[in-house]
A and B are shown apart, each in its own frame.
Chain A
Amino acid sequence: LIDSPRTRFSTGRSFLDAGIALLAFVLVCAGLNALLPFPEVDVVSAELRFFKKHQDEFDTVFIGSSQTHHQISPAIFDRITSEAGHPTRSFNLGINGMFPPESGYFLERLLSAKPRNLKWVFIELDELETRRFPQAEASRRSLYWHDWERTSLVLQRILDTVRPGEGLSFSRKMVEVFTPRPGRSDARDRFFFHSGLFAKNFTNIGRKIDLAWWSSHLGKQGAPPKELGRDGDGFVPQSRTMSAEEIIAYETGLKDAVASVEFRFVSPATEQAYRQWAEEVRKIGATPVFLVPPKATQVKLGFPPESGIAENVLLFNDAVAYPQFYRHEMRVDADHLNRVGAEEFTELVARKFSQLLQEQQIP
Chain B
Amino acid sequence: MLFIEFRFFWFFLVVFSVYWSLRENRSRKIWLLVCSYIFYAAWNWKFVFLLMGSSALDYFVGTMLARTDNPRARRGWLMLSLGANLGTLAFFKYFNFFIASAATLLAWLGLPASLHTLNIILPVGISFYTFHSMSYTIDVYRGKMRAVSSFLDVAAFIGFFPQMVAGPIVRAATFLPQLRTLRRFSDVDVRGALVLFLTGFIKKACIADALAPIVDRYFAAPGSFTAGSAWVAITFYSIQVYCDFSGYTDMAIAAARLLGYELPVNFRFPFFAKSMSDFWHRWHISLSSWLRDYLFIPLGGSRGPRWFVYRNIMITMLLGGLWHGAAWTTVIWGGLLGLALVVQREWQHWTGHGEQARPWTGWLGWALTMYWFCLALMVFRCLNLSDALVAVESFALFRSSGAQDLGVWMLWLVVALGILHWMNFRGTFANWWRRGPDPVFAAAYGCVAATVLLFIPQHYTPFIYFQF
Per the bound structure, the CA–CA distance linking A18 and B189 in Å amounts to: 15
B451 interfacial contact with A, CB 8 Å: yes
Per the bound structure, the CA–CA distance linking A200 and B458 in Å amounts to: 9
Chain A nearest CB, measured from B187 CB (Å):
8
Q: Are A17 and B457 in contact (CB under 8 A)?
A: no
Chain A nearest CB, measured from B420 CB (Å):
14
A10 interfacial contact with B, CB 8 Å: yes
Q: Are A28 and B430 in contact (CB under 8 A)?
A: no
Q: Are B456 and A205 in contact (CB under 8 A)?
A: yes
> Which residues of B, 401-446, contact A by the 8 Å Cβ criterion?
429-431, 434, 438-439, 441-446
Q: Are A9 and B438 in contact (CB under 8 A)?
A: yes
Q: Are B458 and A28 in contact (CB under 8 A)?
A: no
A348 interfacial contact with B, CB 8 Å: no
Chain B residues within an 8 Å CB radius of A136: none
B453 interfacial contact with A, CB 8 Å: yes
* Chain A interface category by residue count: 35 or more
Q: Are B434 and A7 in contact (CB under 8 A)?
A: yes
Q: Are A208 and B450 in contact (CB under 8 A)?
A: no
Per the bound structure, the CA–CA distance linking A27 and B449 in Å amounts to: 12
Majority SS of interface residues in chain B?
Answer: helix
B188 interfacial contact with A, CB 8 Å: yes
B195 interfacial contact with A, CB 8 Å: yes
Per the bound structure, the CA–CA distance linking A326 and B195 in Å amounts to: 64
Nearest residue (CB) in A for B20 is: A11
Chain A residues within an 8 Å CB radius of B261: none
From A17, A27, A211, name the one whose CB has the most chain B CB atoms within 10 angstroms. A17
Contact of B191 among A7, A22, A208 (CB under 8 A): A7
Chain B nearest CB, measured from A134 CB (Å):
15
Nearest residue (CB) in A for B5 is: A196
* Chain B interface category by residue count: 35 or more
Per the bound structure, the CA–CA distance linking A24 and B439 in Å amounts to: 11
Nearest residue (CB) in A for B191 is: A7
Per the bound structure, the CA–CA distance linking A348 and B449 in Å amounts to: 55
A321 interfacial contact with B, CB 8 Å: no
A16 interfacial contact with B, CB 8 Å: yes
Chain B nearest CB, measured from A36 CB (Å):
8
Q: A9-B190, A20-B439 are in contact. Are A4 and B450 (CB under 8 A)?
A: no
Q: Are B458 and A140 in contact (CB under 8 A)?
A: yes
Contact of B189 among A6, A13, A16, A211 (CB under 8 A): A6
A261 interfacial contact with B, CB 8 Å: no
Chain B nearest CB, measured from A38 CB (Å):
15
B6 interfacial contact with A, CB 8 Å: yes
Contact of B443 among A7, A24, A138, A200 (CB under 8 A): A24
From A26, A28, A196, name the one whose CB has the most chain B CB atoms within 10 angstroms. A28
From B442, B447, B457, name the one whose CB has the most chain A CB atoms within 10 angstroms. B442
Q: Are A25 and B439 in contact (CB under 8 A)?
A: no
Chain A residues within an 8 Å CB radius of B253: 2
B455 interfacial contact with A, CB 8 Å: yes
24 contacts between A and B (CB under 8 A): A1-B192, A1-B199, A1-B430, A2-B192, A2-B196, A2-B253, A4-B434, A5-B434, A6-B187, A10-B186, A20-B442, A21-B443, A21-B446, A23-B443, A24-B442, A28-B446, A28-B450, A29-B450, A32-B451, A138-B458, A140-B458, A205-B453, A206-B458, A208-B454
Residues of A at the B interface (CB closer than 8 Å) are: 1-2, 4-11, 13-14, 16-18, 20-29, 32, 138, 140, 196, 199-200, 203-209, 211
The 3 lowest CB-CB distance pairs between A and B, nearest first, are A24-B446, A28-B450, A206-B458
Residues of B at the A interface (CB closer than 8 Å) are: 6-7, 185-192, 195-196, 199, 250, 253, 265, 429-431, 434, 438-439, 441-447, 449-451, 453-459
Q: Other than the known A28-B446, A203-B453, what 19 A-B pairs have Cβ atoms closer than 8 Å?
A: A1-B195, A2-B196, A7-B438, A9-B438, A17-B442, A25-B447, A25-B449, A26-B446, A29-B450, A32-B454, A196-B7, A200-B6, A204-B450, A204-B454, A205-B458, A206-B454, A206-B456, A206-B458, A208-B454
